[in-house]
Amino acid sequence: MRLTFVSLILSAALGGCLATGTADVQYSGDVAVSTPDLVEVSPGVQVVADYDDSVFYSDGYYWRYDGGGWYRSNNYAGGFVYWNAPPAAVISINDPGRYRHYRPSGYQPRHQPYRRPEPIVRDHREPERRAEPARPAPQPVVRDHREPERHEAPAPAPVVRDHRDEHEHDHDHDHH
């Protein structure tokens, strides 16, 4: 019983791994493919005619000589990587730079040659903010809601009066 259960699980797991199927995949859209005009310059080597760089085609790759080394790519317009073992036919090209804008006699272009677009340079820095002429800051309106101070005249000095009877004063003097 235990062997049957293990074999059942194992076959289910393997069956899921081994399952195959097909899917219908569709793509839509416009694709522009540009192939360059190639002109043979030596047996097994062609050059991209009337192009800004000396780009050669041989053994299924595009080749470009730069800075003392050969670079290859699947695309004549870019993506070149250094390659240390180019085909002998490519290595044997004498003065690769002379094939820039190469046009053999009687050459008739099939189409307008591809020109590399100018690089798009985006400046992500904050724009410079120019200072506007300084305006004086408006002064705040200050309101004092306290009772105004009263500026009264000083009180007159008290008048001192003697309220005693005048006659009494006279009697006081008489006794002496």
Tell me the pLDDT tens digit for each residue of 31-68.
455 678 899 999 999 999 988 899 999 999 999 999 99
Distance CA 88, CA 126 (A): 53
**Tokens encoding 69:** 């080394």
End-to-end CA distance of the chain: 156
Residues 6+ positions from 75 with CB-CB distance below 8 Å: 62
User: Residue 168: left if φ>0, alpha if ψ -120 to 50, beta else—which one?
Assistant: alpha
Q: Residues 161-176: what's their mean pLDDT?
A: 61
Distances (CA, A) of 1 to 8, 15, 98, 99: 11, 21, 82, 79
pLDDT digits (tens, 9 = 90+) for 65-104: 999 999 999 999 999 999 999 999 999 999 999 999 998 8
Q: Give residue 145's pLDDT.
A: 74
- In this prediction, residues 16-39 reach a mean pLDDT of 58
Q: How confident is the model at residue 19, as a pLDDT? A: 42
Residue type, 172: D
pLDDT grade, residue 134 (50/70/90)?
Answer: confident
Average pLDDT of the chain, as a whole number: 75
Residue 25: pLDDT over 60: no
Most confident region among 47-61, 102-116, 149-163 by mean pLDDT: 47-61
Residues 95 and 41: their CA atoms lie apart, in Å, by 12
Structure confidence at residue 166 (pLDDT): 62
pTM over 0.85: no
Which is more confident, 77 or 13? 77
